Amino acid sequence: MSPESTPLPPVLLDVPLGEWPSMIGVSGAEIYRVRQLQDWFFQRRIKSFDEITVWPAALRRACAEKLTLRSLVPDGQVASAEDGTVRFTYKTRDGLLFPSVFLHPPQGGDPVDPDEDEVPGGRSSLCLSTQVGCAWGCSFCASGRVPFKRDLTQTEIVEQIFWAEELTGRRLQSILFMGMGEPLANYENVVRALQWIRGSEGLHYGLRHVTVSTTGLVPQIQQLSKGAPAVNLAISLHAADDETRKKIMPRSARWTIKEVLKAAWDYQVKTRGSRLTFEYVMLDGINDSQRNAQRLSNFLRHRKCWVNLIVYNPVPGLPFQPSTEEKVKKFSDILSERGIWTRVRRPLGKDIGAGCGQLSV
């Protein structure tokens, strides 16, 4: 077999936890080695088995021959001069590139998470990707113009957290599945990643600090409430009527707004406490009229939910423009007057192509 065809060793996080003992070759009285590996990997963030100084050299060598701990390689980063947002680019083991975005609003600025507590030194969040490219083709989004290559693995999803904290030197308070790709179209890998992120055997993030975004894949939303770790759900609605949604989100609009909302309400009930947010990008002359605001409020009144109004970040080559400040305010006022918690999201990372809807490779 030639060196070029030699298969790469599996990555640790792609191995189910129950198989770790046999994979590293321990059992019986030595099973505590698995707990040591968990501690050194998740807490100390080792990148090599040689770093586990409490292990005998023979065990370190044996594991290094069978497994690798990291699969991604950082391939560049750029920081916003306006707000401190950092856009990372990673290279996968098969040579593909994809981004993630570190968000650190200034102290006193709008939190990325609408229910986030004040954190000394500011709130830090990671907007991570779940696919290389995106096949969902929302007409206003830069990611929708990037040809879909493949789903990211559970390891590649979780590793974005490790690298973001290492490269910035900051602890992440919130994990947002809002980068490149449709998370629920990569359902199995996203759920496995959530098990590592939320689980006590992994990073142990609390429910309030993990949000999964979706353009409204109804079957997967329904499935998510059956056995997956509970998370906050963010629905990219972006329209108040099905006709407009079909124009700007042609694939996701295969499910009507009423179908999407029913799946969302059911998810909220079944998960007993997850926060439900609706994302609504404000497109001038498309979905920003007072009538649109009234329709949206009719859908959401008397429900426990939040609405994030996102001022559109223009993408070169696309024919959309952001709504005027006056239209955004009036839209927000109508929702608020009808008892719907509403916030206008301040754009972050616009100058480095890291704002909402701007992500491409």
Catalytic residues: 356
Sign of CA dihedral 222, 223, 226, 228: negative
Closest CA to 323 of 343, 336, 309, 306: 309
Sheet order of strands, 210-214 included: 73-79, 86-91, 97-103, 125-127, 174-177, 210-214, 232-236, 276-282, 306-311, 341-345
Residue 72, both tokens: 């991604």
Distance CA(257)–CA(317), nearest Å, equals 28
Tokens read off for 27: 């059992």
Cα–Cα dist 328/342, whole Å: 11
CA dihedral 245, 246, 247, 252 (to 10 degrees): 80
49 Cβ contact partners less than 8 Å away, ≥ 6 residues apart: 55, 60, 61, 63, 64, 67, 69
**Alpha-carbon separation of residue 26 from 32, 34, 56, 114 (angstroms):** 9, 8, 12, 45
DSSP annotation of 41 reads I
Q: Are strands 125-127 and 97-103 parallel, antiparallel or unpaired?
A: antiparallel
Q: What is the rounded distance in angstroms from the CA atom of residue 253 to the CA atom of residue 251?
A: 5
Residues 6+ apart with CB under 8 A from 360: 99, 142, 143, 145, 146, 180, 353
Picking from 270, 201, 281, 174, the residue whose alpha carbon sits closest to that of residue 230 is 270
CA atoms within 13 A on the CB side of 274: 26
